[in-house]
């Protein structure tokens, strides 16, 4: 029995017939989402998609073409050859077969999950939240997916991998005397999420804590950043550790490997093998084995993240971070799973230690900052005022500004002992001092 991804062998044969080096990337997925909006079922559908991508080298230049559906082999090769005539020069070789780590990314329960079970899960979340908050407009989503990827190249590589995905979440909108409140929580991974009560409890806590508003005056305060928003704080670090930015000379970290940049309690790891991580894989989209790459260890810069192209240009080994945004794009550098070191302070003690400050769950607009200068600024989408070691109310019309390079160096008060794994991140709560807060008061 032949499968859709067997067409990759035919495309690879065409490359060899023309005497070309190259790779063929085949991806197929099945997805079934269920979505509730405003307390009612909004959408339930299923979709199947297959795609093929060809990256080849002709006369020392790279060409790329992609398409969906079967029977595209000849057209893709011809289009990629046409692109190669004007493509960039290539200075790496496609990898051959090697040893790969063993990872687990498939849950048969997801593959066999009936749609009725997803409908019941969404309905249960809505009914439970409305039991305690009858005036809330509640939405919920449950989705399952199955994906298969095959990667072949002219160096003899032939890799095949299948995985599952599951996501579940809910959120509520409530009109209060203090204005419009949006809350939400979700969980997901390659395994079936069986315990959904923590998701519901989180939404209910967010709504209860936001029943009152309490906004501090403009000033500088200690701020606890929850794992849900820590990616925004880490964005400058990831931008500077991107091998492409290093190669182009726009990263200020270019010549700083081995230098201590931050507080020695702070470490940041790119972990392609993280158990339960949604980006866990045996190999990246170029066929490089996944690995654990310390970016910062004890505050000291250790490694940059690279794909095949940037590794060759920098003269370093590829770190297995060559990923595609889909079959329609060539591989580029992207983190896999991110891990931040844990500290020794319980979250409860962290909150109790703040006499006047903020607890921030989510930011909005932080992506507009200047990452290479370490600047992060954004509106607090959901956050709380902490006074006397207690959460006293939701903050409104609040904006924060941080120089991350300074904050993680001299202003890091504590990292929480507990960490939360959310999709591809394993993060603690982070307490930073002297954060600029603007509220217009």
Nearest to 167 by CA among 149, 151, 190, 135: 190
Q: pTM for this structure? A: 0.94
Confidence at residue 368, expressed as pLDDT on a 0 to 100 scale: 61
Last-in-domain residue among 190, 206, 222: 206
Asked whether residue 195 falls in the same domain as residue 313, the answer is no
Residues 327 and 222 in one domain: yes
Tokens 């992609």 sit on residue: 66
Same domain, 297 and 436: yes
Angle value at C-alpha 170, between 183 and 167, nearest 5 degrees: 130
Per-residue pLDDT tens digits of the chain, which is 441 residues long: 357 778 999 999 999 999 999 999 999 999 999 999 999 999 999 999 999 999 999 999 999 999 997 788 899 999 999 999 999 998 899 999 999 999 999 999 999 999 999 999 999 999 999 999 999 999 999 999 999 999 999 999 999 999 999 999 999 998 877 778 889 999 999 999 999 999 999 999 999 998 888 989 999 999 999 999 999 999 999 999 999 999 999 999 999 999 999 999 999 999 999 999 999 999 999 999 999 999 999 999 999 999 999 999 999 999 999 999 989 999 999 999 999 999 999 999 999 999 999 999 999 988 766 799 999 999 999 999 999 999 999 998 999 999 999 999 999 999 999 999 999 999 999 999 999 999 987
C-alpha 430/C-alpha 340 separation (Å) is 10
The dihedral built from the CA positions of residue 325, 330, 333 and 338, taken in this order, carries a sign that is positive
Same domain, 110 and 245: no
How confident is the model at residue 1, as a pLDDT? 39
Classify strands 158-176 and 40-44 as parallel, antiparallel or unpaired: unpaired
* CATH code: domain of residue 74: 3.30.2290.10
Structural domain that includes position 421: 213-441
User: For residues 127 and 122, what is the distance between their CA atoms, to the nearest angstrom?
Assistant: 9
pLDDT of the residue at 176: 76
181 & 259 share domain: no
Buried b (16+ CB within 10 A) or exposed e, 377-400: bbebebbbbbeeeebebbbbebbb
Kindly state whether residues 218 and 196 are assigned to the same domain: no
**Orientation of helix 197-209 relative to helix 115-132, angle to 10°:** 30
Number of domains in the chain: 2
Question: Are 405 and 261 contained in the same domain?
Answer: yes
């067997």: which residue's tokens?
6
296 and 151 in one domain?
Answer: no
Q: Which of these, 283, 383, 297, 298, lies nearest to 336 by C-alpha position?
A: 283
Are 74 and 173 in a shared domain?
Answer: yes
190 and 220 in a single domain? The answer is no
Q: Which of 142, 176, 206 is the last residue of a domain?
A: 206
DSSP single-letter state for residue 131 = H
Which of 171, 206, 241 finishes a domain? 206
- Please indicate, yes or no, whether residues 137 and 192 belong to a single structural domain of this protein: yes
Do residues 155 and 265 both lie within one domain? no
């Amino acid at each position: 029995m032949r499968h859709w991804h067997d067409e990759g062998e035919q495309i690879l044969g065409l490359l060899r017939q023309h005497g070309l080096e190259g790779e063929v990337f085949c991806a197929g997925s099945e997805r079934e989402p269920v979505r509730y909006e405003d307390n009612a079922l909004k959408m339930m559908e299923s979709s199947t998609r297959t795609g093929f991508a060809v990256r080849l080298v002709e006369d020392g230049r790279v060409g790329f073409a992609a398409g969906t559906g079967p029977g595209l082999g000849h057209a893709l090769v011809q289009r990629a050859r046409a692109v190669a005539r004007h493509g960039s020069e290539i200075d790496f070789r496609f990898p051959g077969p090697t040893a790969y780590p063993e990872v687990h990314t498939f849950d048969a329960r997801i593959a066999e999950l009936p749609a009725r079970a997803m409908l019941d899960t969404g309905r249960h979340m809505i009914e439970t939240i409305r039991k305690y908050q009858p005036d809330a407009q509640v939405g919920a989503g449950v989705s399952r997916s199955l994906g298969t990827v095959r990667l072949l190249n002219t160096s003899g590589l032939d890799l095949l991998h299948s995985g599952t995905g599951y996501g579940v979440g809910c959120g509520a909108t409530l009109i209060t005397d203090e204005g419009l409140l949006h809350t939400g929580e979700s969980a997901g991974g390659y395994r079936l999420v069986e315990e959904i009560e923590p998701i519901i409890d989180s939404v209910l806590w967010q709504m209860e804590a936001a029943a009152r508003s309490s906004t501090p005056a403009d000033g500088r305060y200690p701020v606890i950043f929850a794992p849900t928003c820590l990616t925004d704080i880490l964005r400058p670090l990831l931008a500077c550790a991107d091998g492409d930015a290093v190669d182009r000379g726009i990263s200020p970290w270019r010549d700083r490997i081995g230098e201590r940049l931050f507080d020695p309690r702070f470490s940041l790891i790119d972990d392609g093998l993280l158990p339960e991580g949604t980006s866990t894989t045996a190999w990246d989209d170029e066929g490089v084995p996944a690995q654990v790459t310390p970016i910062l260890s004890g505050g000291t810069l250790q490694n940059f993240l690279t794909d095949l192209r940037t590794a060759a240009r920098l003269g370093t080994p590829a770190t297995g971070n060559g990923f595609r945004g889909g079959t329609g794009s060539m591989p580029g550098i992207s983190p896999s799973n991110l891990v931040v070191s844990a500290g020794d302070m319980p979250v409860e003690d962290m909150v109790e230690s703040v006499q006047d400050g903020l607890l921030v769950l989510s930011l909005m607009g932080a992506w507009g900052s200047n990452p290479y200068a370490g600047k992060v600024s954004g509106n607090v989408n959901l956050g709380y005022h902490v006074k006397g070691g207690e959460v006293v109310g939701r903050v409104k019309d609040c904006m924060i500004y941080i120089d991350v390079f300074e904050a993680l160096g001299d202003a890091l008060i504590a990292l929480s002992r507990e960490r939360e794994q959310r999709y591809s991140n394993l993060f603690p709560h982070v307490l930073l001092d002297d954060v600029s807060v603007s509220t217009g008061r």
